[in-house]
Amino acid sequence: MPGAPDLLRQIEASGALTDPAWKAAFAGVLRELFVPYYYVTGPDGAPQRLWRDDPHPEIRSRWLAGVYDDVPLATRVRDGELVSSSSQPSLMARMLEALQVHDGMNVLEIGAGSGYNAALLAHRLGDGHVTTVDVDPAITSAAREHLAAAGHRPRVVTGDGRRGAPAHAPYDRIIATCELSSVPSVWLSQCTTGALVLAPLGTGLVSLRVTDEQHASGRFHDLPVFFVPLRGAGPAQPKPPVRRGIPRHAQRNDSFQFLFGLTAGLMEPHEVYELWRTTGRPGRERYGVTLRKGEQWAWLDSPDGPCTWPLAGD
């Protein structure tokens, strides 16, 4: 039967999970405890639930196989909309390694999800060093149950993730497992000097080094990421469509799509294309984000260079 060793092999085969401490965490935390059910697309196109306790052995077998496959799993669907998921384990491994944690550090996770990521953090750092927050009481309640079943009791807070979790600050690391349009500046005030904030912006993953409560800056990783948008701070911003007039080769190119999403309608499509074309079709790692005294902007190559644009504020 599929199990944690199978998942571990898949993650390692993807090139992730090089740190022995994180390898031990993925080996020691059973994903099946965090996804008692999840949704797949049924034959009619509607969501179909695969459940651990389904009376049909075939469904239970499909459920277990999916749990230990290196794929994201839709864990909560409301009115046909995905509101929570268990992320792809190999992506989780890359993000956790990029977090650069050390023993004794305190970590805040934005977006509790199933609780699986918090359990991995708790395995690595200890329950008392991990706080996870989510705006949805149903999600936090389920996460607590899953974590307890796995033998972990980190702090699980029900609240707006954009406001962080000030009651348990300061944090040495903040990791967001939901898509953002900007980094909430209040997070910086809950960080220690030199803290690291790892957050998905659009389809990119940025690492920001915090110098004080008003300043942070850093670059994107070359890793594409796709997450459920952060909820609790108003309606999600619609994705700007790629309009006519953009060459097809650009529309199919990941680096163009990343830039187009990062500009979030602040530039006309042809302006985005010209920037992308004239700067050598830059990869994600050439972009970065800076927060400075209440202002926040994205940039290409340098935070004070000629290619910058503002990000949506808090």
Copy the structure tokens of residue 304: 């004070």
Residue 312 per-residue DSSP state: P
**What is the tally of helices (H) and strands (E) in the chain?**
10, 14
User: What is the rounded end-to-end Cα distance, in angstroms, of the chain?
Assistant: 47
Work out the angle between the directed axes of helices 269-278 and 254-263 (0-180°, nearest 10).
130
Q: Is 86 a catalytic residue?
A: no
Q: Which helix (H) or strand (E) holds 40?
A: strand 37-41
Distance CA 63, CA 52 (A): 6
- In 56-138 the beta strands, taken as DSSP E runs, fall at 73-78, 81-86, 107-110, 130-134
Distance CA 244, CA 314 (A): 32
Give yes or no for a contact between 219 and 206, defined as CB atoms under 8 angstroms apart: yes
Nearest to 84, CA basis, from 134, 149, 148, 33: 134
Cross-sheet strand order for the sheet of 37-41: 47-51, 37-41, 73-78, 81-86
Identified catalytic residue from 84, 85, 86, 87: 87
Copy the structure tokens of residue 9: 């092999």
By annotation, the residues acting in catalysis are: 87
